[in-house]
């Protein structure tokens, strides 16, 4: 009888061992590489920066092209954040609770806030060039070398959108007179 119980319990023990091993498998979120953690953080903070800078531009700019671009940044970067969160949820990866701009981006926001009224559009356009250059590099690097297939696909799908934003930001910067000498210089 004891032998029968042991034999009957064996499949349950094996199933339990398999279930315990499962959380470390792909997509479970239990074992996340530093590369993926870094990508998630950078993608979320970049989207937060874009939305915050765009809200500032909508308040401070009088240029209709800048305001239209800012509106698009809010819409598009809300969408990219939503897509990121969907992948994170699907793959059971940690989701950033309240993503905020990274320290470099926070400084750009502070500089934008301190830009003169006359120099704001030039400063905003330049901040968008810089931010989108960095975002293209982050997305392309993960698309090429990332280790989570779903995040790699998300990055690959996002690169053309970010590149289009960069191209538009370069045109806005040119129309505003090129990059500022300093974001807070009075003569810009």
Alpha carbon distance 129, 148 (integer Å): 28
What is d(CA 48, CA 52) in angstroms, rounded to the nearest whole number? 6
Query: Does residue 171 register a pLDDT over 60?
Result: yes
- Going from N- to C-terminal start, the domains of the chain cover 32-175
Asked if the model's pLDDT at residue 24 lies above 70, the reply is no
Q: Is the pTM of this model over 0.85?
A: no
pLDDT tens-place string over residues 71-89: 999 999 999 999 999 999 9
Whether 175 shows a pLDDT value over 60: the answer reads yes
pLDDT of residue 22: 31
Q: Any idea of the CA torsion for 158, 160, 166, 169, to the nearest 10 degrees? A: -100
Q: How confident is the model at residue 60 (pLDDT cuts 50, 70, 90)?
A: very high
Only one residue has tokens 């810089």, namely: 130
**Fold assignment, 32-175:** Ferritin (1.20.1260)
């Amino acid at each position: 009888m004891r032998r029968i119980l042991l034999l009957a319990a064996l499949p349950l023990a094996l199933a339990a061992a398999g279930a315990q091993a499962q959380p470390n498998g792909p997509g479970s979120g239990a074992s996340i590489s530093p590369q993926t953690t870094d990508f998630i953080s950078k993608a979320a903070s970049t989207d937060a920066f874009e939305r915050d800078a765009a809200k500032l531009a909508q308040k401070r700019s009088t240029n209709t092209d800048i305001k239209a671009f800012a509106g698009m940044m809010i819409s598009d970067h809300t969408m990219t954040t939503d897509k990121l969160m969907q992948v994170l949820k699907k793959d059971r990866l940690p989701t950033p609770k309240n993503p905020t701009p990274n320290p470099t981006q926070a400084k750009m926001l502070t500089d934008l806030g301190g830009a003169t009224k006359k120099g704001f559009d030039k400063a905003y356009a330049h901040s968008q060039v810089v931010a989108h250059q960095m975002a293209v590099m982050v997305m392309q690097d993960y698309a090429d070398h990332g280790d989570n297939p779903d995040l790699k696909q998300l990055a690959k799908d996002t690169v053309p959108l970010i590149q289009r934003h960069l191209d538009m930001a370069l045109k806005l910067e040119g129309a505003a007179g090129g990059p500022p000498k300093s974001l807070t210089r009075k003569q810009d």
